[in-house]
Amino acid sequence: MHVRDGKVSFVEVKAEGDAIRRNQLIRLRQLENDGIPVEIGRVDYGLDPEQDYVVVDIETTGAWSSGDRITEIGAVKVRNHQVVDEWHSLVNPQRPIPAKIVELTGISNQMVRDARATRRQNPGLPEMLCDVCCPKM
């Protein structure tokens, strides 16, 4: 995830020789369908143990970009191989969550009933990402 001028976008980072898997492509399309700009970035990885980073996880109602929706977004900030901050937000997918997905994720229709329906802006996540990704002033 990338935050610039208060707007969130998503960059799928791939190293040389790394391919986008089908399930990743589906998630990228879901983000695009939800109005979040997506791009694929190529990088050469290097390990800097002093560098903080954020790992983002997204749970959905299934694997089809045409009808399935996001149910939860979670993130952890890591520093020196230790989790130093956590954030998560349930998202109301505005459609029933299949029993198989409830069993897999533990996220039920009752849990998301009163959650925000928008995936575009979830309080807290942009700040966590900006703390790691944005240049320090």
Calpha distance 102→65 (Å, rounded): 18
In tens, the pLDDT along 40-49 reads: 888 776 767 7
3-state secondary structure 45-99: CCCCCCCCEEEEEEEECCCCCCCCCEEEEEEEEEECCEEEEEEEEECCCCCCCCH
Measure CA of the first residue to CA of the last residue in the chain; give whole Å: 20
- Please, are residues 26 and 63 in contact by the beta-carbon 8 Å criterion? yes
Report pLDDT for 99. 96
Pick the CATH number of 2-133 from 3.40.50, 3.30.420, 1.25.40, 1.10.10: 3.30.420
Question: pTM score > 0.75 for this model?
Answer: no
Specify the pairing of strand 7-15 against strand 38-43: parallel
Query: Backbone phi, then psi, for 49, in 5-degree steps?
Result: -65, -15
Query: Which band of pLDDT confidence, cut at 50, 70 and 90, is reported for residue 64?
Result: confident
pLDDT over 70 (residue 134): no
Domain ranges of the chain: 2-133
